[in-house]
Structure 1
């Protein structure tokens, strides 16, 4: 067997290599399996620790969620938070059970016991008790439980415990990762050590093989060299070996050929070394180019830093633009340039004339160049022949380059365009790229400028908002120095500009405030307590401030806190002078009302007692009953005033608005007053034909009744009461003028205020509750009107009521109605007032009315609406008179059966009946006659099968 291997070098090499490969593979497989087992075990440990970390994090998040929901419930009282707390509580209990089963270490059990103890205490004791306090409104008990009983501390402790536990788990994970890294590194080191060992072993095998095979070969080589030199070799060594060396020694020719092959291999190696030398030379050249590029970049950065520094020292727009273009021209070695701020069309330039700037502004915004910049967002260069003005003393033609550089914001909005010019040369691509980078720095400066301007606008806006607030606002720091104040506080301090108060120290402004306030000691004490947070929450202080008009000021304060740090105190000064006066008026009103109600009640009780206890003559009984009736009516009027005020304040007052002429309403009021007063002369001066108003007749009557009765009541010596009806472009105006006591100037401003009565001894004798004019004002306001008064003390007063003007009120109103519902009766009448009177009469019986003053329009409407009846005047405006209207309607098959009632001053009944009129009324007549005639015809039509059922008239709810 040994001779079998000795006879062949190949067999010897194969057995050696097989042993080497076997050892190499066995070692590599063993090391690989060891590495995989190690990695899997560590990964499993990390995974378990990570699951525990996620579990604890979820438990902590649920506890935090319960804390936030409980605080949300304590803040807002919503039961939704309680339901969410219950859900989270169930999740926590389930998590604790799982935690107890899964994790058994001492540290895990300690955390479990801590959290379980907290949850049992919190969910079974603290939380139910706090919820009960919140539902009972016992906020102080909740605060006490949180602060004194340690509720908040317990929550913080258990959350801190969980957080520490999380940190411990994370540290375990980190340690496991570190162990994994160390063992992995060790495994890799062993692996590479094994490889090195195997390489060394392989080298040893090679050495052994060289020793076994190389020495004989060298000896044979020496023999070969001798043969090459021509030396005589008498003996060939190793001819007695059984392997291939013996064969080689017997075949020198093959050995010589092998030597020649080795020489060629050496030549090839020399060529390879030469190629490697060339490669090294090439790498050296690249390094030299990289060094040159680095030097260029360094120079570029230095120029950019210098440029950025030069444009970052100003926030003035014009100065900034000028600085940008000047520095850009300098560092780019340009001849001239400009920058155009797109949004505001501002421009700054260096070396550019005004005419060139104007040319740029006139043509560039509309040119294709701007569109190209916006589309590509890239700089571009335009080469052109130099202008004559740019050549100087040079006569020959040469080129100049204009570089257009866009400046975009971070939102890709075009902020500005910069143009720089090199006369006689152009810009390289590298330079253009560098300048594009500078443009980004310019964009940052412009955006910073815009941000500053926006901030300044916001500051001015906040200042304007504060100045628009009607309360005085003062912000002071913790030392009492004023940080900011608004215009209203400035007025309280008698200064012109709030900025004058900024930075004013406490001693200075408090001294000025003391000089204008009664009981200044209490006020200053309140302010000092506010600064030091000694005032109770929601407390305020009221003081009186001297001046041309005494004012009552209410002051309150709030601390300004940011990130749990007090920055200062906001003090608010609220002018409550009017409210104070109203309270005084209400107090006075109670006294007045008591007197006004008790007086008529006393009369009623007194006279009824006399009538019950005594035998009185009939005439005296009638007199007493009349007195009782008057006092009861007076009492009813007072109560109605109170009810009206209550309805108006609650918004429940209802109005039945229709179109009315105010003249009949005023005439009715005057007629009543004439009966009740024999000392006064009443006159009505009508100066307009536009007397229509859209409103509630009863409420309008109440307005004029109140105003006219006031004119009578406050002119106790008699005189003339003049009611004037006039109009301007937009309003119907009613003036009620008397010759009575008049009103002091100081009282006119409060005259229409509830419960207010003029402070005048003569007026006090007259009596009243101070509600009448307030009610009048509210009624007029609901009718889109306005009321005012002019008066001189002792010379009488003039009350002026204004309502919106309504032209052709019944026509317009009725035409609007026809678009919504059927018209029952059409009135064709050119007398506006009579048409209004007839319309009111018929609308009271539930008919829908349309009214016209020309025959042409009326005939068209009759054909469209087919009304149940027509009221027609003979003398009309327009081309058609009444007779022509009748003939036109009767000749039309669609309208011939509609009954027509003639209302005319002409006594031509027979002609009317001959033309087919259903009725004929000669003016003047009572409108009820017309209504009766129409209703009679309606009844006849009903009998004949044509039924018309008018709607019920609407009524007020008062």
Structure 2
């Protein structure tokens, strides 16, 4: 089938070799088995109509093949078929008019000559040819013979309705729709085969459409490769992996999309699949258009043709970047938590053993030494308690079960009480100075006071811990539009710029924190952010390494909250 319609004068040139003698021979061959005694009966008319429908289908296909089209005929094309075919069989038809609803044709002679007067049902032959073509291309056809040479009229006047209009319904005539139940056996078989072909084509189209839909919506990236490793098919999921649509991936050598260190492994993987081996779980890295690397797991198998020959490979790829990161964080959590637990436990056990050994030997330490050792045990116990609380809270956050007991309170007074308590705790160590700048007016907040105190305690702990040489720590509270803002600024080691975007990621710790050997497992800021977000607020950090850091909390002003929220 040619891909484009013909245009210009040659469009309506003669497409088929059909003359009057050939037409008559076809007719005689189709009617030869009928007894001449029933040539004028309804049975003969029905049979002739079915012969015309079958012939019309064949003629229509010849015209379409010649014009190189695989769609329905247009009105002009259909009108041309009528006039062209009638002239070829000496019907001498002329086109009177045509529009979207009907085509009107007139003739002064009949291709069947005197035969048509002997068997008027022969009129059904040509009318069913054109009615059948119209029904297939316009969805409906009704042929009305207003004048008939077979009945002694001076000419023939025919209207072919193309739409089921009131005029068509009211007119006398025959609707031309292939009827398998009424068709004679040989014609019924032809029509049945035609119907089967159309149904199979439709089913194939639906199956192809469903397959394509499944492939495009699949959770995994699916790709097909030829034996040279060139991508011949890629579904939509590849956009997430490489940053471009699957169609853009097609035509690339897959090995070249992979990270350079993993290309040899992919080459070997596809080679194994091309030999008929199935390989599952191969891990490699693929570079996204942004430059980031994705860790993937791929399973491959051979694609075979209908003779069993391997013609390519099929790969199903799953992005496991997040899984790998989660596993890395889990491993890091276990390692860090183990270390964090070991330090206080070792300290507590060592001090306890010293005290017990002294009591067993009758050596009672002085009150000052005993108090110092008990305070150290208490500090390490508090550290264990905080670690246990953090781990419990993280578990609750993962299941969205962190409870909030909301109430109305003044954030300004909450901050003032916390800072006052911290100042008293820092009296013995004068390395740090703690300043407080309070807003002039109360700062109403609707939230869980104990959880917000937990956030501020954590931030103050960090300000002190990450200022090992001491320095100024400043706490500010203010009203900023419809937000209550609390900031904590220290003059400690600061945060390296590349680390700032990840500071609120679970288990992440700034690179300089490890350098200074500060204790911690990287959950504090993650918990702070989660609690603040649960209150509808935000928490941000600004810092320069070596020049301290500022953490800023923004919470909704409770005076802007609807009254019913307090219930």
Answer yes or no: same fold by TM over 0.5: yes
Alignment match of 2:527 (pick from 775, 780, 791): 775
Alignment match of 1:335 (pick from 97, 105, 110): 97
- Map of 2:435 onto structure 1: 682
- Map of 2:459 onto structure 1: 707
Q: CA RMSD in A?
A: 5.3
The question of 1:758 aligning with 2:515 is answered no
- Map of 2:421 onto structure 1: 672
The question of 1:626 aligning with 2:375 is answered yes
What are the Cα deviations for residues 761-812 of structure 1, in whole angstroms up to 9, with x where unaligned?
5763332221212222333344455444344434443434455554476942
- Map of 1:663 onto structure 2: 412
- Map of 2:115 onto structure 1: none
The question of 1:693 aligning with 2:446 is answered yes
- Map of 1:433 onto structure 2: 175
User: Are the equivalent residues in 1 in contact too, given 2:463–2:473 (CA < 8 A)?
Assistant: no
Query: Is the alpha carbon distance of 1:474 and 1:622 closer, same or farther for their aligned partners in structure 2, counting shifts above 3 Å?
Result: same
- Map of 2:75 onto structure 1: 325
Instruction: Give the Cα separation in 1 of the matches to 2:501 and 2:334.
Output: 22
Structure with bigger strand share is: 2
SS at match of 2:222: strand
- Map of 2:254 onto structure 1: 509
Shift of 1:582: 4.7
Shift of 1:654: 4.1
SS at match of 2:371: helix
- Map of 2:284 onto structure 1: 543
Instruction: Give the Cα separation in 2 of the matches to 1:639 and 1:800.
Output: 26
User: Are the equivalent residues in 2 in contact too, given 1:530–1:569 (CA < 8 A)?
Assistant: yes
**TM alignment of 1:736-815, pairs within 5 A:** 736-760=488-512, 764-803=516-555, 806-807=558-559, 811-813=563-565
The question of 1:486 aligning with 2:260 is answered no
Shift of 1:309: 5.7
Instruction: Give the Cα separation in 1 of the matches to 2:524 and 2:274.
Output: 48
Instruction: Give the Cα separation in 1 of the matches to 2:401 and 2:171.
Output: 83
User: Are the equivalent residues in 2 in contact too, given 1:406–1:418 (CA < 8 A)?
Assistant: no
Instruction: Give the Cα separation in 1 of the matches to 2:415 and 2:499.
Output: 27
SS at match of 1:338: coil
User: Are the equivalent residues in 2 in contact too, given 1:714–1:763 (CA < 8 A)?
Assistant: no
Shift of 1:606: 4.3
- Map of 1:639 onto structure 2: 388
Instruction: Give the Cα separation in 2 of the matches to 1:458 and 1:521.
Output: 36
- Map of 1:604 onto structure 2: 348
Query: Between Structure 1 and Structure 2, whose CA radius of gyration is higher?
Result: 1
Shift of 1:310: 5.2
Instruction: Give the Cα separation in 1 of the matches to 2:267 and 2:352.
Output: 62
Alignment match of 1:718 (pick from 471, 481, 484): 471
User: Are the equivalent residues in 2 in contact too, given 1:657–1:697 (CA < 8 A)?
Assistant: yes
Query: Is the alpha carbon distance of 1:292 and 1:778 closer, same or farther for their aligned partners in structure 2, counting shifts above 3 Å?
Result: closer
Instruction: Give the Cα separation in 1 of the matches to 2:509 and 2:254.
Output: 40
- Map of 2:365 onto structure 1: 616
Shift of 1:296: 7.1
Shift of 1:601: 3.5
Instruction: Give the Cα separation in 2 of the matches to 1:688 and 1:326.
Output: 85
SS at match of 2:260: coil
SS at match of 2:502: coil
What are the Cα deviations for residues 393-442 of structure 1, in whole angstroms up to 9, with x where unaligned?
xxxxxxx99976447xxxxxxxxx8999xxxxxx9733x634999xx9xx
How many positions carry a matched residue from both structures?
A: 448
Query: Is the alpha carbon distance of 1:743 and 1:615 closer, same or farther for their aligned partners in structure 2, counting shifts above 3 Å?
Result: same
Instruction: Give the Cα separation in 1 of the matches to 2:475 and 2:498.
Output: 25
User: Are the equivalent residues in 2 in contact too, given 1:310–1:327 (CA < 8 A)?
Assistant: no
Shift of 1:655: 4.1
- Map of 2:133 onto structure 1: none
User: Are the equivalent residues in 1 in contact too, given 2:278–2:302 (CA < 8 A)?
Assistant: no
Shift of 1:541: 2.6
Instruction: Give the Cα separation in 1 of the matches to 2:516 and 2:228.
Output: 54
Instruction: Give the Cα separation in 2 of the matches to 1:654 and 1:812.
Output: 20
Query: Is the alpha carbon distance of 1:567 and 1:688 closer, same or farther for their aligned partners in structure 2, counting shifts above 3 Å?
Result: farther
Structure 1 unaligned regions, length at least 5: 1-282, 341-348, 351-376, 383-399, 408-416, 421-426, 818-958
Instruction: Give the Cα separation in 2 of the matches to 1:811 and 1:331.
Output: 79
Shift of 1:598: 3.4
User: Are the equivalent residues in 2 in contact too, given 1:789–1:798 (CA < 8 A)?
Assistant: yes
User: Are the equivalent residues in 1 in contact too, given 2:101–2:162 (CA < 8 A)?
Assistant: no
Instruction: Give the Cα separation in 2 of the matches to 1:724 and 1:808.
Output: 18
Query: Is the alpha carbon distance of 1:810 and 1:652 closer, same or farther for their aligned partners in structure 2, counting shifts above 3 Å?
Result: closer
Instruction: Give the Cα separation in 1 of the matches to 2:491 and 2:472.
Output: 6
Instruction: Give the Cα separation in 2 of the matches to 1:449 and 1:647.
Output: 56
Structure 2 unaligned regions, length at least 5: 1-34, 83-94, 105-138, 145-156, 180-190
Shift of 1:737: 4.1
What are the Cα deviations for residues 77-115 of structure 1, in whole angstroms up to 9, with x where unaligned?
xxxxxxxxxxxxxxxxxxxxxxxxxxxxxxxxxxxxxxx
Shift of 1:758: 1.3
Instruction: Give the Cα separation in 1 of the matches to 2:364 and 2:101.
Output: 111
SS at match of 1:429: coil
Instruction: Give the Cα separation in 1 of the matches to 2:167 and 2:501.
Output: 67
User: Are the equivalent residues in 1 in contact too, given 2:409–2:449 (CA < 8 A)?
Assistant: yes
Shift of 1:760: 1.4
Instruction: Give the Cα separation in 1 of the matches to 2:235 and 2:46.
Output: 61
Instruction: Give the Cα separation in 2 of the matches to 1:556 and 1:532.
Output: 15
User: Are the equivalent residues in 2 in contact too, given 1:489–1:573 (CA < 8 A)?
Assistant: no
Instruction: Give the Cα separation in 2 of the matches to 1:660 and 1:734.
Output: 15
Q: Structure 2 length normalisation: TM-score?
A: 0.61
Instruction: Give the Cα separation in 2 of the matches to 1:708 and 1:378.
Output: 83
Instruction: Give the Cα separation in 1 of the matches to 2:415 and 2:101.
Output: 76
Shift of 1:701: 1.6
User: Are the equivalent residues in 1 in contact too, given 2:504–2:526 (CA < 8 A)?
Assistant: yes
Structure with bigger helix share is: 1
**TM alignment of 1:127-206, pairs within 5 A:** none
SS at match of 1:326: helix
Instruction: Give the Cα separation in 1 of the matches to 2:555 and 2:66.
Output: 64
Q: Structure 1 length normalisation: TM-score?
A: 0.39
Instruction: Give the Cα separation in 1 of the matches to 2:442 and 2:161.
Output: 74
Query: Is the alpha carbon distance of 1:732 and 1:573 closer, same or farther for their aligned partners in structure 2, counting shifts above 3 Å?
Result: farther
Query: Is the alpha carbon distance of 1:503 and 1:626 closer, same or farther for their aligned partners in structure 2, counting shifts above 3 Å?
Result: closer
**TM alignment of 1:546-557, pairs within 5 A:** 548-557=291-300
Instruction: Give the Cα separation in 2 of the matches to 1:479 and 1:770.
Output: 48
Instruction: Give the Cα separation in 2 of the matches to 1:809 and 1:498.
Output: 48
Instruction: Give the Cα separation in 2 of the matches to 1:477 and 1:755.
Output: 44
Instruction: Give the Cα separation in 2 of the matches to 1:810 and 1:491.
Output: 42
Query: Is the alpha carbon distance of 1:449 and 1:594 closer, same or farther for their aligned partners in structure 2, counting shifts above 3 Å?
Result: closer
Query: Is the alpha carbon distance of 1:622 and 1:704 closer, same or farther for their aligned partners in structure 2, counting shifts above 3 Å?
Result: same
User: Are the equivalent residues in 1 in contact too, given 2:490–2:550 (CA < 8 A)?
Assistant: yes
Instruction: Give the Cα separation in 2 of the matches to 1:663 and 1:802.
Output: 13
SS at match of 1:779: helix
Query: Is the alpha carbon distance of 1:812 and 1:503 closer, same or farther for their aligned partners in structure 2, counting shifts above 3 Å?
Result: closer
User: Are the equivalent residues in 2 in contact too, given 1:726–1:734 (CA < 8 A)?
Assistant: no
SS at match of 1:571: strand
Instruction: Give the Cα separation in 1 of the matches to 2:399 and 2:330.
Output: 18
